[in-house]
Structure 1
């Protein structure tokens, strides 16, 4: 098989996986959120799907459910652990940038890895 044919086959497989992933019914799947959050709080909820795929949603927009394939999921989780998606501190309270409170940093560090890597 030529490199071009292999590339087309890989793209076709990834597209098929994505279609299958979004065809899954995620209504009623078990969801997890960070330890210490309450049901009435704004939070991100994560569900492990078939294989090692995962779905996420915001408690503020429960009908919007981005999903990650088995191949995408580790990249996302490792990026989140490394802070790649952390917002930059923004000026407020008189124009001074402040960091996330230590209590929140500590709470986020306790999220069990198995929450994301099980499936």
Structure 2
């Protein structure tokens, strides 16, 4: 855990927790956009077989635009969708001959109006 010094004028110290887990970097939102939109994502199968279809299951605000980007070993594949009235979107990824054992990071960006949210998930082809 890393603690930053307490600023003058009596404001509380800011504590930054550094964990050993993998962190996901996302592009900064455009000027004027807020970053308060719910975004949660997981894969239908965390270890799909080659030549199968795996699904990114996203939960966000109703009717939000959803963009997924899967970073494979040698390429990146982008898909888009729109969340339904319950705020759920399903995005299909055909696994084909993805490198076995290589962890594929799937970054998700959701937008509704000026609100933006980011989340991520991953899978490992077998």
Q: TM-score, normalised by structure 1?
A: 0.25
Structure (1/2) with the larger strand percentage = 2
Structure (1/2) with the larger helix percentage = 1
Q: TM-score, normalised by structure 2?
A: 0.24
Q: Larger relative CO (CA 8 A, sep 6+): 1 or 2? A: 2
